[in-house]
Amino acid sequence: MSSLIEHFIAGTTYSEPRTRTGAVHNPSTGEEIARCAYGSFATVDHAVMVAKEAGRRWGRASHAARQAVIYKLRELMIANLDTLAEAIGREHGKTIPDAKGELGRAIEGIEFACNAPHVAKGEYANNVGGDIEVFSMRRPIGVVGCITPFNFPIMVPAVMMTMAVAVGNAIVWKPSEKVPSAALEFARLWKEAGLPDGVFNVVQGDKEVVDAILEHPGIAGVSFVGSTTVGEYIYQKGTSHNKRVAAFTGGKNHMVVLPDADLEAAASAFVSAGFGSSSQRCMAVSLLLPVGHETAERLRDLIIPKIQALKVGPYNDASADFGAVVSRESRTSVERAISRCIEEGGELVIDGREIEIPGHPNGFYLGPTLFDRVTTDMHLYKEEVFGPVRGIMRPTSFEEAIEITNMHEYGNGSVIFTRDGKSAHRFMMEVESGMIGVNVPVPLPSAYFNFGGLRRSKFGEGHLYGPDAARFYTKIKTVSQRWPEPDDRALPISLAFNPSA
């Protein structure tokens, strides 16, 4: 009988007498390994009630007290690296080295949250007029609802929530129901780090829990990472309930390669950035745009053997380059995208649909797949395919490559490989993407810079991490004050609109 993965509220596992559940699978084997409890509005309501009370006390805690918890969380993350990586790999399917890479970025985000007292400082002006001084202060917004995806079970929550906690908020978190165990491991580490019970809460579930978070009047802000369709829904519904919302959504990231680039380096970069984690990354390179026929032919010849050498295997196979996709439904969706591209005239160069992994016949595996001569009217160009299917487009000029990049609805990440500084500068200035790489295949910024796309890759003005995250999770109060001398006479009556007099 499968074990039940439950909620975490008020510092302990929380269960309900009657609950819906959903299956949790090991993608490497295809077997059901657990059931996940699905919460309801009542579950969210209970979590919010707990979070509001705990959050009031936590919001009044000193910066030093908060930072002590963040420092301890960092130490615990490092000490529990193997346990966390195993939980990620078992339910997501990514390899253990890939999971540990994710955890490294999570730790980087936690380290930046140690700077919360600095990035959340207000402003001050002395004697703006009539001995009045004005200052602003940032205060926590209250209870934050966090909704996170399956593809980074720890990194996204860590970089999203640690700053929120560091500046004094409480959390109600709905992780992906596909990867619920990692959420409980993360909650356990927060408690062990000394975070007061009730500040960090996990409500497992599906759309019912999402809607409860969006509608609940006790939740002040919502942060989301996931698909564009869902992200737009969350932004529109959340803001209609007077919440601040930051939704980080899909990507279709283009890699432009100019003729002067180091093509060997560009080929390796494309394969690494395109197929890592079974291409289940919003920052993965989706489309390769070599400029000119000769560049395209040379680059294609370099890429094909590198892709063919990739090994697919279970998450705990130390020699595997990447693992299974997260679910049977995901595999079917990716296979459908491959068939559609063939029907639309794409040239199938490498077909990964018939891959077999010895000893794992029921795993959700797909081999790396490559198309050439992808055009802007094909769905492989238009849609984000969350699986190991990449494409080559053939712009004839640098101008056309920029146009192809900018005409897409997404603007998450775009990269260029070149030795020419002027072309790189033009790319940085003209391409409408939130994160740009120059000879860097995955332009995921360090935690002390803001993360977020443009166009339909982001809804709302917040950022996932970086200094803007502290601003998103705080509200500003501005104070004007005057302290008269004890023997000053009362101010004369004046009806003029001149408050600084």
- Tokens standing for 242? 């007077």
Instruction: DSSP letter for 281, please.
Output: -
- Give which of 227, 257, 216 is closest to 423, Cα–Cα: 257
User: In 3-state terms, what secondary structure has residue 383?
Assistant: coil
**Dist CA 246 CA 491 (whole Å):** 46
**Annotated active-site residue in 36, 114, 146, 282:** 282
User: In 3-state terms, what secondary structure has residue 473?
Assistant: coil
- Give which of 441, 446, 497, 437 is closest to 467, Cα–Cα: 446
User: In 3-state terms, what secondary structure has residue 61?
Assistant: coil
- Within 8 A by CB and 6+ apart from 323, the residues are 27, 28, 89, 93, 94, 95, 98, 277, 278, 312, 313, 314, 315, 317, 365
**Dist CA 255 CA 31 (whole Å):** 37
Q: List, in sequence order, the alpha helices (H) in 241-286.
A: 263-275
**Dist CA 342 CA 456 (whole Å):** 27
Is 282 among the catalytic positions? Answer: yes
- Give which of 86, 70, 82, 228 is closest to 149, Cα–Cα: 228
Contacts 24+ apart (CB under 8 A), 427-434: 427/256, 427/402, 430/402, 430/406, 431/402, 431/405, 431/406, 432/405, 432/406, 433/253, 433/405, 433/457, 434/458
- E strands along 39-193, which residues? 124-129, 132-140, 143-147, 170-174
Residues recognised as catalytic: 282
